[in-house]
Amino acid sequence: MDPSSSGTAEQRVGAEPIVAGRMLRLIYVVGYGRSGSTVFERALAATIGGFRLGEMRHLWERGFLNGELCECGAPVPRCSFWAAVRERLGLLDDPRELLRLKDRVDRIRYIPFLNGSLPMPSTYRRRWQTWGRVIRGVYEAIAEVSRNRILLDSSKDPSYAYLLRSLFGPRVVFVHLVRRLPAVAHSWSRPKPRPEIHWTDALMPRYPLLRAASEWTVMNLLAAQLGNRNARGGVMVRYEDLLDNPRGTVLAVAARIGLPARSYVWHDRRTFDCGPGHTVSGNPVRFEPPVVTIRLDECWKSRSGELGYRLLMQWDALVRRAWDPGPFPTDAEVRR
């Protein structure tokens, strides 16, 4: 049985809007790290009136187990919002057992089972069903505690995206956010603090160019397939379009996924107010004030003359043809 939705047409800007109902709607930002997903999630959540979650895939380990900081500044286990979610779920014990189950379901190697390319073995199916009940329960609990039926998750990981599609079907909409490879690789090469690890000084990992390039390629190709297999299930956005025209791009995404936009949260074409939040994991910009200005970030170009970056630019131009539908948005009225 194929747990995914049917359809094979590749998504293109300008297709008919995805239908949005009163049921729980999950907007999932998929792609690769250092692609601007945190600021994009903040902007889109504010615009459509959704509740932003950050990287929900890491809730169990980084949040409940390790006690890293929620966006509100409290450790996740002591945050009143996440405590209410956990209590509603009845998950008051040590989350280690749940983490063991998660690792036996949510891995890239299991994607063929989740997208229906291969039949699920009975052992895996039982694990998927058990973990699925937990995942569905936590999103429903979040919707109840937040009193919001529109949830945004910027976990980005494609294997988790396939898992969510197998569980929620058409209720999950994928926004494939892609940033140019040289910019992503440059970001991974720079030291960046992790303030959510509040008990010590910690930095995000740094990747060499080759690792960043290989992972960027694999993750984005897997993300693109989500749109290919579900003609009404996703949209692709270039991060560079977001930088060039923040308000226009976000308004166009809202229209594409069929949700009304609250344009009043935008102070101007680059600045918006996202309000306080309770995100778990993600880029440290989630701890910055809720009035956000999206600025151009092209510092990677200072290294564009180096051989490694010249090769990255050539590879970027070659492989992006597999998923890039062209500039986004195309509506001149939205771009104004």
- Residue with the two structure tokens 């308000």: 247
13, 253 contact by CB (below 8 A): no
Mean pLDDT of 127-147: 96
Judge whether 132 lies within some domain. Answer: yes
In a domain, 8, yes or no: no
Query: What's the total number of domains in the chain?
Result: 1
Q: Is residue 10 part of a domain?
A: no
Q: Report the percent of the chain where pLDDT is more than 70.
A: 87
CA 176 to chain centroid = 8
Q: What is the DSSP letter of 177?
A: E
pLDDT at 123 over 70: yes
Q: How far is CA 110 from the centre of its chain?
A: 19
Residue 115 pLDDT greater than 50, yes or no? yes
CB 230 within 8 A of CB 4: yes
In whole angstroms, what is the distance from residue 219 CA to residue 322 CA? 13
> Looking at residue 231, what is its pLDDT?
40
Query: What is the C-alpha to C-alpha distance for residues 113 and 117, in angstroms, rounded to an integer?
Result: 6
Sign of CA dihedral 176, 177, 180, 182: negative
Cβ atoms of 257 and 18 closer than 8 Å: yes
pLDDT digits (tens, 9 = 90+) for 262-284: 999 999 999 999 999 999 999 99
Average pLDDT along the chain: 88
**Per-residue pLDDT averaged across 155-163, rounded?**
97
Position 336 pLDDT exceeds 70:
no
So what's the pLDDT on residue 228?
52
d(CA 161, CA 158) in angstroms, rounded, equals 5
| Three-class DSSP category at 205 | coil
Kindly tell me the number of DSSP H helices and DSSP E strands found in the chain. 12, 7
The pLDDT score that the predictor gives to residue 325 is 61
Of 136, 175, 148, 171, give the one whose Cα is nearest residue 56: 136
Question: What pLDDT band is residue 335 in, cutting at 50, 70 and 90?
Answer: very low
Strand 172-178 relative to strand 234-238: parallel, antiparallel, unpaired?
A: parallel
pLDDT score of 33 = 96
pLDDT digits (tens, 9 = 90+) for 194-249: 999 999 999 999 999 999 999 999 999 999 988 654 444 579 999 999 999 999 99
- In angstroms, what CA-CA distances link 55 with 41, 266, 299, 320? 10, 24, 26, 25
Beta-carbon-side half-sphere exposure of residue 148 (alpha carbons within 13 Å):
16
Question: How many CB atoms are closer than 10 A to CB 130?
Answer: 14
First to last CA, the chain: 46
Task: Assign 23 a pLDDT band (cuts: 50, 70, 90).
Answer: confident
Is 7 contained in some domain?
A: no
Q: Is 3 a domain residue?
A: no
Cα–Cα distance list, 273 to 127, 282, 285, 296 (Å): 41, 19, 14, 18
> Smallest Cα–Cα separation from 32: which of 225, 253, 214, 171?
214
Note whether residue 84 is domain-resident: yes
Domain extent at residue 74:
25-335
What token pair was written down for 168? 């929620």
Domain contains 18? no
Distance of alpha carbon 283 from alpha carbon 286, whole angstroms: 6
- CATH label of the domain that carries residue 228: 3.40.50
* 116 part of a folded domain: yes
Query: Which pLDDT score, from 0 to 100, does residue 3 have?
Result: 44
What's the pLDDT tens digit per position in 45-92? 999 999 999 999 999 999 999 999 999 999 999 999 999 999 998 876
